[in-house]
Structure formats: C-alpha cells, structure tokens
Amino acid sequence: MADPLSIAAGVTGLLAFSGKIISLCYGYGHTVALAPKEMDKLRQEIMNISGILLGLQAFIEAERKTQGSHASKKGASILRAPSIGRSIQACQQTLSEIVDKIGLSDPSSEGGIKGLRKRVVVWPVSKSRISELIEEVRSHKAVFTDLLVQDAVFVLMLVVRSRRLLTVS
C-alpha cells in the first residue's frame, strides 16, 4: 500500500500545477490576439483533470479518516493501487512541462500590459507539441477516473452485499 500522506501531497501538487496552467492560459487568452484554439483545449482539459483530482483528493481524505473500518480493510482502495504513485509522478511531469513551456513567456509578467507594448506576445508552444501534451493530460485523466470508478464499484458491491445480509436476517 502506498503512503497515504505521499499520495495526498502528490495530488495537492497536481492541483497546484493545474491552477497555474489555468491561470497562464487565461492570461494568454486575454493578452494574445487570436490565441490558438489549442490553448482553449488545453485549459479545458486541465479544468477537467482538476475536477477529477479534487474528487480523488476528497476520496483519499475520506479513506484516511476511515482506515481500519471493514470497508477500508477489504477494499480495492486507491491507496492500495500499485500504480497510483507512478500515475501521480507521470502526471506531475506532464503538468510541469506545460508550466515550463507556457510559463517562460507569461504575458502577465514583465510589466503587465505596459510591457506588452514593447513586445509581441505569442503562444510559445508548437501546435503539434501542445496536441501531444493535451493527449497526455487526457491519458492521466483516464487513469485517475478509472481508479475512482474501481473504488466506487467496490463500495457499491459492499452496499449490495450488506443489504442482502440485512434482508436475509
């Protein structure tokens, strides 16, 4: 079983990266004329994975609070998934690359709007690379969604079993 605190910290870090990317994308959207469609797609995917990460964070917190309960001991918990640490690390690398690529030429830095008069702001990532990064984010989103669904199915099975036991008694 992975360390719950490490997993919680990893998810919190991913949420921080996501917030930074969303902020940067909004900055570009407001300062770059004809901002590319890829920027909006990236922002939307990051918002989507942020929602899933918030759900994952809530689940991990609930799991930490109920450790030792019958469901927790027998569960297919996210905390027991051998791939959770690797998945968090891989997502962190993708989000870090996105922040590095678009954060280097943050349009809101270097004097804000006044600084924009001195330079032309352009989207700093090629269309093909941003498309690849969007696909990576979608892949990470699918992994985290699958982990949440597996646990939800397990909990549902426990509820059904306990109802059957109650009706038989």
- 27-78: per-residue pLDDT in tens? 877 776 666 788 889 999 999 999 999 988 888 888 777 765 545 555 556 7
> What average pLDDT does this structure show over 130-147?
93
CA 69, distance to chain mean position in Å, is: 28
CA-based nearest residue to 6, from 65, 78, 85, 76: 85
Residue 78 carries which DSSP code? Answer: G
Instruction: Give the residue with greater pLDDT, 16 vs 67.
Output: 16
What confidence category does residue 6 fall into, taking pLDDT thresholds of 50, 70 and 90?
confident
Percent of the chain with pLDDT over 70: 73
- For the chain, what is the total number of helices (H) and then of strands (E)? 6, 0
Residue 113 has a pLDDT of 40
Tokens read off for 56: 């994952």
Res. 12: pLDDT tops 70: yes
> What average pLDDT does this structure show over 69-95?
75
What confidence category does residue 115 fall into, taking pLDDT thresholds of 50, 70 and 90?
very low
What's the CA gap between 25 and 19, in Å, rounded? 10
Model confidence, pTM: 0.77
| Residue 73: exposure state from Cβ atoms within 10 A (0-12, 13-18, ≥19) | exposed
CA dihedral angle for residue 144, residue 60, residue 1, residue 52, rounded to 10 degrees: 0
